[in-house]
Amino acid sequence: LRTGVPEVVFGSGKSEAQLERAVQGLADQGASVLVTKLSPGQGEALHALFPEGKVHPQAGLFTLGADLSLTPPWPEQGEALVLSAGASDLPVALEAYATAQYFGLTAGLVSDVGVAGLHRLLPHLQACDQARVLIVVAGMEGALPSVVAGLTDKPVIAVPTSVGYGVSFQGVTALLGMLSSCAPGVAVVNIDNGFGAAAMARKLCHLKP
Amino acid sequence: LRTGVPEVVFGSGKSEAQLERAVQGLADQGASVLVTKLSPGQGEALHALFPEGKVHPQAGLFTLGADLSLTPPWPEQGEALVLSAGASDLPVALEAYATAQYFGLTAGLVSDVGVAGLHRLLPHLQACDQARVLIVVAGMEGALPSVVAGLTDKPVIAVPTSVGYGVSFQGVTALLGMLSSCAPGVAVVNIDNGFGAAAMARKLCHLKP
Amino acid sequence: LRTGVPEVVFGSGKSEAQLERAVQGLADQGASVLVTKLSPGQGEALHALFPEGKVHPQAGLFTLGADLSLTPPWPEQGEALVLSAGASDLPVALEAYATAQYFGLTAGLVSDVGVAGLHRLLPHLQACDQARVLIVVAGMEGALPSVVAGLTDKPVIAVPTSVGYGVSFQGVTALLGMLSSCAPGVAVVNIDNGFGAAAMARKLCHLKP
Amino acid sequence: LRTGVPEVVFGSGKSEAQLERAVQGLADQGASVLVTKLSPGQGEALHALFPEGKVHPQAGLFTLGADLSLTPPWPEQGEALVLSAGASDLPVALEAYATAQYFGLTAGLVSDVGVAGLHRLLPHLQACDQARVLIVVAGMEGALPSVVAGLTDKPVIAVPTSVGYGVSFQGVTALLGMLSSCAPGVAVVNIDNGFGAAAMARKLCHLKP
Amino acid sequence: LRTGVPEVVFGSGKSEAQLERAVQGLADQGASVLVTKLSPGQGEALHALFPEGKVHPQAGLFTLGADLSLTPPWPEQGEALVLSAGASDLPVALEAYATAQYFGLTAGLVSDVGVAGLHRLLPHLQACDQARVLIVVAGMEGALPSVVAGLTDKPVIAVPTSVGYGVSFQGVTALLGMLSSCAPGVAVVNIDNGFGAAAMARKLCHLKP
Amino acid sequence: LRTGVPEVVFGSGKSEAQLERAVQGLADQGASVLVTKLSPGQGEALHALFPEGKVHPQAGLFTLGADLSLTPPWPEQGEALVLSAGASDLPVALEAYATAQYFGLTAGLVSDVGVAGLHRLLPHLQACDQARVLIVVAGMEGALPSVVAGLTDKPVIAVPTSVGYGVSFQGVTALLGMLSSCAPGVAVVNIDNGFGAAAMARKLCHLKP
Amino acid sequence: LRTGVPEVVFGSGKSEAQLERAVQGLADQGASVLVTKLSPGQGEALHALFPEGKVHPQAGLFTLGADLSLTPPWPEQGEALVLSAGASDLPVALEAYATAQYFGLTAGLVSDVGVAGLHRLLPHLQACDQARVLIVVAGMEGALPSVVAGLTDKPVIAVPTSVGYGVSFQGVTALLGMLSSCAPGVAVVNIDNGFGAAAMARKLCHLKP
Amino acid sequence: LRTGVPEVVFGSGKSEAQLERAVQGLADQGASVLVTKLSPGQGEALHALFPEGKVHPQAGLFTLGADLSLTPPWPEQGEALVLSAGASDLPVALEAYATAQYFGLTAGLVSDVGVAGLHRLLPHLQACDQARVLIVVAGMEGALPSVVAGLTDKPVIAVPTSVGYGVSFQGVTALLGMLSSCAPGVAVVNIDNGFGAAAMARKLCHLKP
Ligand SMILES: Nc1ncnc2c1ncn2[C@@H]1O[C@H](COP(=O)(O)O)[C@@H](O)[C@H]1O
Ligand SMILES: Nc1ncnc2c1ncn2[C@@H]1O[C@H](COP(=O)(O)O)[C@@H](O)[C@H]1O
Ligand SMILES: Nc1ncnc2c1ncn2[C@@H]1O[C@H](COP(=O)(O)O)[C@@H](O)[C@H]1O
Ligand SMILES: Nc1ncnc2c1ncn2[C@@H]1O[C@H](COP(=O)(O)O)[C@@H](O)[C@H]1O
Ligand SMILES: [Mg+2]
Ligand SMILES: [Mg+2]
Ligand SMILES: [Mg+2]
Ligand SMILES: [Mg+2]
Ligand SMILES: [Mg+2]
Ligand SMILES: [Mg+2]
Ligand SMILES: [Mg+2]
Ligand SMILES: [Mg+2]
């Protein structure tokens, strides 16, 4: 693996024919397959083409030859622990959670621990300390990564989401907030880029000791 | 008072002559005087003109016939309690704190309680519950008002500051974060507008029961 | 009530199943329910699920176990008085008006009093003076809060709306205008956030005397 | 006059040599001269070169062979009536007022009639109705042109100024507000462009009946 | 007429019921009616309700009791002469042209005279000189008003359109270009605001000589 | 020459020591030297270090071992013909003109032919047709490249300048206008990048026939 | 050909009737026809009207009387060589490739050589050196033109595409990256403007030697 | 260490008194001290106060009780390897390099390996493979992190710098390019935030195996 990360198909905007070719190509090499950012229609089309595969509609994912479980209750700890601020951030959190598993990491997922209700976050701090890397997903003001990074010594990969309205500006406000964070040990990926956070987590967890 | 708020002179960009005229005008009416947003040079010029007045350089303020104390230690509670995230937010926090006093409110000021170190905020929650209104001042990601509003039932007036660098964008990121807050009971004033927060606090505290 | 404000369901983007779960959950606790930012389709779906509830399509609201009247003529005074600039701002004004009622405030609503026709605003100044807090809703140039704050001593919660075209920029121009206001005693919430204005109003009106 | 407007020198950023050449060139043609947007240093340099000319430092202007009076009290009516919102908008208002005179219009100037204090505007409505064109200068939220256009049947040329701080964004907020105006009969020129407003006024007043 | 301009109904986003009420209201006062910014569906709905009215789909207009002709060939001169850069700018140009007629001005319309083909503009300069006011409509780089204002002594009301793609940014680039124009005697209205340009033209043409 | 373009030193922000090292390095290789974007102070420092070199202050350039003439009158034709809209665009135009010469092209320069005075441009069209490539420099609304590209069959390299104020936004408006141009055969370089335009011209003129 | 480039019809947003008129007009003059930026529906409509023409749906093109081949495998060299970063950039790359052919240039197309996999680019450097001009198409971070311009002495016309999500901002990020390129000999056209790049290439290749 | 990262003093904007207090405070606890983002004047002031400390002016750093070597030649490998695109990015690269050392990591620094000259980067790929984490610093188009992440399996922490002019927008273009990167395993910190990259590197290198 030149880049240290297995190939993943980016589904958004691809035609049915393009998706089929990409999935078949990887399957022909004997690889398992993960496709991200699928619309419901694309998911159904892939399922019709590859009935042995599995669609995860809420997360916009399709998998073939990879056995990922996305249904709750999710394990609340793991090497890569995903923390998600609000219910609407869940699709992106699930993309990160599933991709981390696909990359061979043990992963956990804790949802609905946004900064406006800190009492929901505190019981999970111990799991944070046992993780190797935290993926923190948040929309709107995107403050959760700052708060988490101030409470733990683990590296935080921050994922802004396009959740919100008005001045949330499709995730730009959350992104800028995360980059401006005054807590040390936070680095940021593109808006809604759960995949990218998991790829970074994979590279981190494979660091030579 | 038509607008419910005494006149305050906005100093920024005014010439010495303009400042003198404004201060003298109010003094002639027997009013006490508060001038905001003064540069060090403007402050000294006013002091030379009105030696009985007082300059507060860190806060960019000048007062005449008003006895405001801005030197620490500040009282840590009051009708209007000012919470400030970082050391660099202090000038704006002091502007709010001084203006609130000038408007006749009892005011408190708690500094350096940013979201990257929540353990510093928690001891002050009781004072929050005893205040009538909270003025929360923060730069960078501007997350403090959200966190505070999630921990108390008091109204929060959020003041973004122009503190930070890079994508802090002179306070725009903090402003957008505050407006996107998912905690109920937060309303926002212009960047660095400590005066405006105090004016709102004054109107709130004078609400008829 | 930790935050001083009862729970309200944010409907935008939620699936029918998510909405049902949220409403049922609150109903099971014996609480009345308010859902905001509903599309027409979501509103109908909720009504089919909870036929004893009520949909307010223009305001994008659904209520269950709460008896709100949104049909005109609206009372033109109240503890929380909503002033609305143009006919197209009405959905947001109604969201604020309904939520304020839901929060137990007496509320009034005056529509179509934009700054391009000041003669329509002036007859309502007395009601402004009798209110405890004003919620001022405006799109386009968003000038109404400034004008109102200059004519009364009541605190003004300004709500920019996404009404307009061209450089109205979906409410950003109105928002910036409101934040730049030179009238003291104006604080601002997110674009189209009628709910947030009502939550702030609730906190203000419950201030200890 | 090809464009219907006499030549005016734009001083900003020009070297002393460039300014001298431009002024001398017009003087050599027997024309009177107006130079705009001068820094204090540039103004003094021009005065040293052309001692018979006159510098107007607050307005950033230099004139030669043109007898303009800019000192208050200003006439409060004229063909072209300039209305200015705040004290800090005065330099731009004076640029418009002086240029209009230079272009041969009778001009008036009314200052400090911003929307946060409408009672100061109302006494001037009659002068508005007697003018042929109104030049309305405002910074911050830039609401004055909307309000004025709703109170008169005269065309309004709106001039946003770079006055303000925070989200005033050096006049952009005022500009966007003016363009979004819901009052008919408002057209807008560039930020701080008092000259441009006067040029438009000159073209309007020279319209064939 | 308080504002000097007859009432025009802004159709965009209005429901069928709201449109009917607005049109009926004006018709009941014996006024003729103009409705702007109509979608095709809204236009058909109005026509079904008021079969004696007329829909102009390309311009998004509906008229009742007003006899406007919008079909080409258009007269190429008039008191108010509309110049339009490209074929795609025609809807906005027609809105201005129709509204000017509705306001009682004689109007002309010249299309497809953009700056990339100056030879098409030059034959119309004489008509420009005979007009009282020019309304110049352009999208993309929005350069036409500058060029025209440099070739004539008539006032130019510039209307940016949302035509274009990529960095045309829905008319923002054209708007900024028009405001930055170095030609004197250009003032600008909101993007796509043909109505606003005609309203300004009406006020200009009714100037007392 | 790997990239087909000789090395040029980018002076902006470099310390005296860094500049000396860069110039000495190239001189030691026997190359002639061009340094761009120099402040007056940097220029003087370089001249003190290399008295046989030459400073061109208006253009912000320093040359050593290269005999460039930048003083007017400039030749009004050349392989690479630079057209410049306004007097304030001259520094950037001179950077392009000098760099083109330094790269071995015959170059011409025509100044002050902006779109608000088309009669000044027309006499130069024949020289345009005799050039191989046109470099068109303009600030403010940046319309000149569009107009020129519509009048000739030569490729146009457009250079926006940071000249202007208000919504000129330091060249952004000119840049966006140039990119939105509806005339074919225009490509654009960064704001104020006269060097980049000349580098492109050099590559074009060295195209194999 | 006044501008040196044959007429091409811009299809986007045109009605069926407008498209028919444009195509028929050119066909009547005996010219071949190219229409760009067509939606699938527009393409089918044109094909129904002109069955002897050909639709290229992936590229959004329609041709009549011009024999262009767009089906892979594409020649990997040509006078104008198009390099495309990712699979999703292909529509824009094909627009450039087809238009270049239509303009009479020999054209090549190499796809999927983005900067994250440089080993795919290197085998094509020889073809770059044999081309006369390179058209480099890339979305997301838009880095490919910089890298290519650093590896060859050919002029690079950079075309940003609207491919990507989050902070790709519909091509703006790619555009800004290309303009900021530190490699000499890159000039840029509007986002998704494959046509414009081909028009520039045509003008370059027709330069007199 | 609660956050896993030793305290570092942020110098920017602090007064001499504030700096002295901060440094003395840490020294009194027996800690070594690092102060970042110092202006030359601040650096000299600190040196006068603490003559045993050391100022690194190019990097804007001050250290006390920490023995950091910043003078070239730098080691070209290390646990944390800093790669820097251009000479002007060096201050930020040095901040990262020094802070990493201060945090106890072995660090390397390779400068001047920007994407416009790939041949300079390739010799360093082996050192990349031997590092544990790469810190990639680049301004302008910010493409270096993408290219590097495509050539190695190490995690890349990308640091945009404010280097450049025109549309480099003080680092915003580089930042957006880095976030849009299509190479997996890149995460980004704030503009010019060398400190933040080193803090993230420290957390990564301390990951439990
Ligand atoms: N720091 C401040 N920010 C915003 N407004 C202020 C500030 N200080 C004073 N003001 C307001 O500015 C107005 C006075 O402006 P001026 O007449 O220019 O002194 C008053 O309405 C004050 O309420
Ligand atoms: N196309 C338009 N753009 C901007 N304003 C318009 C337009 N058409 C009508 N108006 C104005 O909108 C107001 C009517 O708004 P409404 O009461 O919502 O119909 C009137 O003041 C008209 O002058
Ligand atoms: N004015 C300029 N604008 C942009 N790039 C320039 C400029 N002058 C020189 N360069 C380029 O900057 C690079 C030299 O940068 P440096 O090594 O910092 O001197 C060379 O590749 C030049 O081609
Ligand atoms: N260059 C820098 N950029 C961002 N944060 C920094 C920098 N240097 C130090 N810090 C952080 O700023 C905080 C110290 O801020 P202060 O108390 O104002 O000195 C600490 O948390 C540091 O980790
Ligand atoms: Mg959040
Ligand atoms: Mg903060
Ligand atoms: Mg309004
Ligand atoms: Mg104002
Ligand atoms: Mg145009
Ligand atoms: Mg220009
Ligand atoms: Mg790319
Ligand atoms: Mg770079």
E20-42 per-position pLDDT tens digit: 999 999 999 998 999 999 999 99
| Segment F90-142, tens digit of pLDDT | 999 999 999 999 999 999 999 999 998 899 999 999 999 999 999 999 999 89
- b/e D7-19 (16+ beta carbons within 10 angstroms → b): ebbbbeebeeebb
| Segment B105-138, tens digit of pLDDT | 999 999 999 998 899 999 999 999 999 999 999 9
Q: Where are the alpha helices (DSSP H) in E50-169?
A: 90-102, 125-130, 144-149
Query: Is the Cα dihedral H18, H24, H26, H29 positive or negative?
Result: negative
| Segment H147-161, tens digit of pLDDT | 999 999 999 999 999
Which of H102, H93, H76 has its CA nearest to residue H5? H102
DSSP A71: P
Joined together, the tokens standing for residue D71 give 């000192």
pLDDT at residue D3 tops 90: no
| Segment F48-83, tens digit of pLDDT | 999 999 999 999 999 999 989 899 999 999 999 999
Q: What SS3 state is found at E162?
A: coil
Q: Which of E62, E195, E200 to mutate to test the pocket of ligand 2 (most atoms within 8 A of CB)?
A: E195
pLDDT at residue D182 tops 90: no
Check residue A1 and give its pLDDT. 59
Which of D154, D155, D141 has its CA nearest to residue D188? D155
Q: What SS3 state is found at D135?
A: strand
* β-bridge mates for residue C182, sequence order: none
Chain D interface disruption, residue of C115, C137, C140, most D CBs within 10 A = C115
- Taking the CA of residue H193 as reference, the ligand 4 atom at the shortest distance is 3
CA–CA distance, E85 with F143 (Å, rounded to integer): 13
Mean pLDDT along residues G104-131: 95
| Three-state SS letters, chain C | CCCCCCCCEECCCCCHHHHHHHHHHHHHCCCCEEEECCCHHHHHHHHHHCCCCEEEHHHCEEEECCCCCCCCCCCCCCCEEEEECCHHHHHHHHHHHHHHHHCCCCEEEECCCCHHHHHHCHHHHHHHHHCCEEEEEECCCCCHHHHHHCCCCCCEEEEECCCCCHHHHHHHHHHHHHHCCCCCCEEECCCCCHHHHHHHHHHHHCCCC
Q: Do G167 and A162 touch (CB under 8 A)?
A: no
Q: Which residues of F touch E177 (CB under 8 A)?
A: 141-143, 173, 176-177
Check residue H208 and give its pLDDT. 54
Q: Quick check: E51 contacting G, CB < 8 Å?
A: no
- Of the candidates F133, F154, F203, the beta carbon closest to that of G185 is on F203
Ion ligand 8: residue ranges with CB closer than 5 A: D 85, 114, 138, 140
Which of A164, B182, A40, A112 has its CA nearest to residue C13? A164
DSSP F165: S
Check residue F207 and give its pLDDT. 64
CA–CA distance, A61 with A65 (Å, rounded to integer): 13
| Segment B46-103, tens digit of pLDDT | 999 999 999 999 999 999 999 898 999 999 999 999 999 988 899 999 999 999 999 9
E11 → chain C, closest CA residue: C88
Check residue F5 and give its pLDDT. 81
DSSP B152: -
Predicted model pTM: 0.95
CA–CA distance, G60 with G161 (Å, rounded to integer): 14
pLDDT band at E3 (very low <50, low <70, confident <90, very high): confident
Check residue E182 and give its pLDDT. 83
Chain E interface disruption, residue of G21, G191, G195, most E CBs within 10 A = G191
pLDDT at residue F209 tops 60: no
CA of D176 to the centre of ligand 8 (A): 12
**Across chain C, what does the average pLDDT equal?**
94
Q: What SS3 state is found at E159?
A: strand
Given a contact as 3+ CB pairs under 8 Å, which chains touch G?
A, E, F, H
Mean pLDDT along residues F186-203: 97
Which of D16, D82, D111, D59 has its CA nearest to residue D68? D59
Using an 8 Å Cβ cutoff, are C145 and D106 in contact? no
Looking at CA atoms only, how far is residue F184 from chain E in angstroms? 9
Q: Is E193 in the pocket of ligand 2 (CB under 6 A)?
A: yes
User: What are the CA-CA distances from residue A156 to residues E89, H62, H104 (Å)?
Assistant: 50, 28, 20
CA–CA distance, D176 with C140 (Å, rounded to integer): 9
**Would you write out chain A's pLDDT as a tens digit for each of its 209 residues?**
577 788 899 999 888 998 999 999 999 999 899 999 999 999 999 999 999 999 999 999 999 999 898 999 999 999 999 999 988 899 999 999 999 999 999 999 999 999 988 999 999 999 999 999 999 999 998 999 999 999 999 999 999 999 899 999 999 999 999 999 989 999 999 999 999 999 999 999 886 54
Question: How would DSSP label each residue in D85-97?
Answer: SSGGGHHHHHHHH
Q: Is H9 in the pocket of ligand 4 (CB under 6 A)?
A: yes
Mean pLDDT along residues D97-103: 97
**Across chain D, what does the average pLDDT equal?**
94
CA C196, B168, B84 angle in degrees (round to 5)?
65
Q: Which residues of E touch F164 (CB under 8 A)?
A: 180
Q: Which residues of chain C have pLDDT under 70?
A: 1, 207-209
Q: Quick check: A87 contacting C, CB < 8 Å?
A: yes
CA of F202 to the centre of ligand 6 (A): 50
| Segment G41-61, tens digit of pLDDT | 999 999 999 999 999 999 999
Which of D138, D179, D135, D134 has its CA nearest to residue D153? D134
CA of D142 to the centre of ligand 1 (A): 16
Amino acid sitting at position C97: Y
Amino acid sitting at position B47: H
Q: Is the bond into G73 cis (omega within 30 degrees of 0)?
A: yes
Q: Quick check: A157 contacting H, CB < 8 Å?
A: yes
- Of the candidates A114, A150, A179, the beta carbon closest to that of B115 is on A150
Check residue C67 and give its pLDDT. 84
Q: Do B153 and C1 touch (CB under 8 A)?
A: yes
Which of F112, A194, G147, B27 has its CA nearest to residue H122? G147
Q: Which residues of chain H have pLDDT under 50?
A: 209
Using an 8 Å Cβ cutoff, are B208 and C132 in contact? yes
Pairing of strands H54-56, B9-10: unpaired
Check residue D87 and give its pLDDT. 86
Looking at CA atoms only, how far is residue D182 from chain E in angstroms? 9
Burial of E7 per CB tally in 10 Å (0-12, 13-18, 19+): middle
Helix (H) or strand (E) holding F65: none
CA of A190 to the centre of ligand 1 (A): 40
CA of H10 to the centre of ligand 4 (A): 4
Using an 8 Å Cβ cutoff, are B61 and B95 in contact? yes
Question: How would DSSP label each residue in B23-76?
Answer: HHHHHHTT--EEEES--HHHHHHHHHH-TTSEEEGGGTEEEES-----PSSPPS
- Of the candidates C114, C147, C182, the beta carbon closest to that of D118 is on C147
Amino acid sitting at position F29: Q
Q: Do E191 and C87 touch (CB under 8 A)?
A: no
- Of the candidates H150, H168, H182, the beta carbon closest to that of G180 is on H168
Nearest residue (CA) to ligand 4, atom 10: H10
B143 → chain A, closest CA residue: A143
Nearest residue (CA) to ligand 3, atom 9: F10
CA of F173 to the centre of ligand 10 (A): 10
Q: What SS3 state is found at A203?
A: helix
Using an 8 Å Cβ cutoff, are G15 and E57 in contact? no
Q: Which residues of B touch D87 (CB under 8 A)?
A: 14, 18
Looking at CA atoms only, how far is residue F156 from chain G in angstroms? 8
- The pLDDT > 90 percentage for chain B reads 86
Q: Do F166 and D192 touch (CB under 8 A)?
A: yes
Q: Which residues of C touch B205 (CB under 8 A)?
A: 207
Task: Return the ligand number nearest the Cα of D90.
Answer: 1
Using an 8 Å Cβ cutoff, are A4 and A202 in contact? yes
Q: Do A18 and G166 touch (CB under 8 A)?
A: no
Q: Which residues contact ligand 1 via a Cβ below 6 A? A: B 8-10, 22, 36-37, 193, 195-196; C 182, 184; D 86-87
Which of C140, C173, C131, C178 has its CA nearest to residue C159? C178
pLDDT band at E1 (very low <50, low <70, confident <90, very high): low
What's the CA dihedral at H119, H124, H128, H134 to 10 degrees?
-70
- The pLDDT > 90 percentage for chain A reads 85
Q: Quick check: F130 contacting G, CB < 8 Å?
A: no
Using an 8 Å Cβ cutoff, are H203 and A185 in contact? yes
End-to-end CA distance of chain F: 19
Check residue A5 and give its pLDDT. 81
Chain C interface disruption, residue of E9, E10, E35, E169, most C CBs within 10 A = E10
Task: State ipTM.
Answer: 0.95
Using an 8 Å Cβ cutoff, are G109 and G63 in contact? no
Mean pLDDT along residues D35-45: 97
Check residue G80 and give its pLDDT. 97
Query: Is the Cα dihedral A20, A25, A30, A32 positive or negative?
Result: negative
Mean pLDDT along residues E108-137: 95
Check residue E73 and give its pLDDT. 96
